[in-house]
Amino acid sequence: MRASAGTGKRASPTPAGRGRRRSGKPWRSARRTSARSAIASRRSGTRPEPGIKPFMSGRRSFGVPTILDRYLLGLVLKPLGLGVGVLLVGLLLARVLRLLNVLASSGSTELGILAALTASLVPHYLGLALTAAFVIAVFVAMIRLGDGSELDALLSSGLSLGRIAVPFVALGAVLAVFSFVLYGWLNPLSRYDYRSVLYSATAVVAYRTDIRPGSFVNAGRGATITADDVDAGSKRVRGVFIHQIDEGGRERITTATSGEIAPGPDGVHLKLILEDGVSIIQDPNGPPLRTQFRHLNFQTEIEYAGRPYRPRGSNEREMTLGELWEELRAPTTDLGPRIVEAELIDRIIRPLALVFMPLLAIPLSLATKRGSRAAGLVAGAIVLLTFNSALQFGKDLAAAGHGPVPVTALAPFAAFVALSLWLFLASARHPTEAPLSRLIGRLSDFGGGVFRLVRPRRQRAE
């Protein structure tokens, strides 16, 4: 141990753990210590201790994230992934329940069809879930900064709210690139796949117009089929009677209570899946053979007459971004240029909106207090739902010919960007007096009042 300069006294050793506050998260405690050291050094005009790296270094190379950037990204990535997973599963489950009803009404019971339909819906709902989850993640990250007094430390050290928002906006730009691919290519292709699979599962009704109740149909190989009732919607038949004489001269009579018409294994001819019936084979050289069955597959030579699904490209929502651009330059379909241009603009502005989502989420988080955070999330959900509906409404108006297409389709996006920038700039000037504080406070008071009115009634009812 060296002596202090100018004196003969030895420097008193300082315990390594003295003055440090123990926490359940050592990495967070170390970063808070680094932040406090940087604040103190800026106020006193001295440099921080050699062993501590400044947490809020103002110098940063372009494209190289600082410790602050990595810390803020760490706060937002976990709730982002969790939010995307929860929202995506919730949206898919709601749609799967409706698909089950559709498939059940059409008589399709194959789980493979349901799995294919669900997989084709993932790109569509992923785009919706990503936007909502990103806003929630930034909101939660800013709330955590405020609860730990880290946001106050960052602002008091001289960092602006704009500097704090840089990693969030950068993450929004990365998500925008991913969404650009999602909306431009994956979503239109999966939309066509969904409609094609659903058509093949539900539109294969009675297959042929000559399969009618009470009529006799030549099924080939010496077989004649008739049925008392044919349900074209569910492909079900009831009261089935089949008479057949094979090549050996044997006569076979088959009856069944019900059955189902389905494509055969060759994909060209139909088969009957009979249920609860009896089959009697009369052999000229022997006694009749009677067989009772629960299920019986009877192959016919009736050709599958169902029409294939239309080719992709007749709907603008099934075209990729490149195909929309080519269609706008050299039309090859009956779609009008206004419809194609409105769809093209909508595909571009939806991913771009992710860049401005942090500018909306940060003011919402600053405007909420500990007792009114639910109101802040409700306000954010209202803004997102309104923005999504406005984008769809603007696109429909532009496609219908109301006003110039760029102006009508871009108006909701421009209004959203202007609102987000105004809220963020106002919050950056006065972080403690965010412009949404009063509105969210009133919304929270209204919700609390409604809860207090409903709760006594429930208690009296109990």
Q: What is the mean pLDDT of residues 111-117?
A: 89
Q: What is the pLDDT of residue 407?
A: 96
Residue 295 lies in a domain: yes
Same domain, 73 and 198: yes
Out of 189-193, 268-272, 409-413, 415-419, pick the least confident.
268-272
What pLDDT, in 10s, does the model give residues 408-439?
999 999 999 999 999 999 888 877 666 666 66
> How far, CA to CA in Å, does 47 sit from each of 37, 50, 56, 67?
9, 8, 13, 18
Q: What is the pLDDT of residue 304?
A: 66
Q: Tell me, what amino acid is at 405?
A: V
Q: What is the pLDDT of residue 220?
A: 83
For the chain, how many residues are written? Answer: 462
Residue 115 lies in a domain: yes
Q: What is the pLDDT of residue 462?
A: 54
Same domain, 322 and 412: yes
Tokens for 370?
Answer: 């500990």
Question: What percentage of the chain reaches a pLDDT higher than 90?
Answer: 45
Same domain, 369 and 249: no
Q: What is the mean pLDDT of residues 226-244?
A: 82
Asked which of 202, 237, 269 is the last residue of a domain, the reply is 202
Out of 256-265, 285-294, 301-310, 329-338, pick the least confident.
301-310
Same domain, 76 and 196: yes
Phi-psi region of 207 (alpha: psi -120 to 50; beta: other; left: phi over 0): left
- CB-based contact 263:226 (threshold 8 Å): no
Mention every residue, 6+ apart, whose C-beta is less than 8 A from residue 283: 250, 289
Same domain, 324 and 388: yes
Q: Using alpha carbons only, how large is the chain's radius of gyration in Å? A: 34
Residue 10 lies in a domain: no
Mention every residue, 6+ apart, whose C-beta is less than 8 A from residue 259: 227, 236, 237, 238, 240, 272, 273, 274, 275
Asked which of 303, 324, 355 is the last residue of a domain, the reply is 303
Residue 212 lies in a domain: no
Tell me if residue 52 falls in helix, strand or coil. coil
Q: What is the mean pLDDT of residues 18-45?
A: 47
Q: What is the pLDDT of residue 454?
A: 62
Same domain, 163 and 254: no
Residue 276 lies in a domain: yes
Structural domain that includes position 100: 67-202
Q: Provide the terminal-to-terminal Cα distance of the chain, rounded to the nearest Å.
A: 75
Report the interhelical angle of 161-181 vs 405-429 (nearest 10°): 150
Residue 23 lies in a domain: no
Q: What is the pLDDT of residue 208?
A: 47
Tokens 């103002």 label which residue?
58
Q: Residue 223 forms beta bridges with which residues?
A: 220, 244
Residue 425 lies in a domain: yes
Same domain, 188 and 295: no
Mention every residue, 6+ apart, whose C-beta is less than 8 A from residue 444: 371, 372, 374, 375
d(CA 169, CA 451): 37
Same domain, 363 and 442: yes
Same domain, 330 and 354: yes
Residue 85 lies in a domain: yes
Same domain, 125 and 165: yes
- Name the most confidently modeled range: 79-88, 112-121, 426-435: 79-88
Same domain, 52 and 71: no
Indicate the number of domains in the chain.
4
Longest distance between any two alpha carbons in the chain, whole Å: 128
Same domain, 175 and 249: no
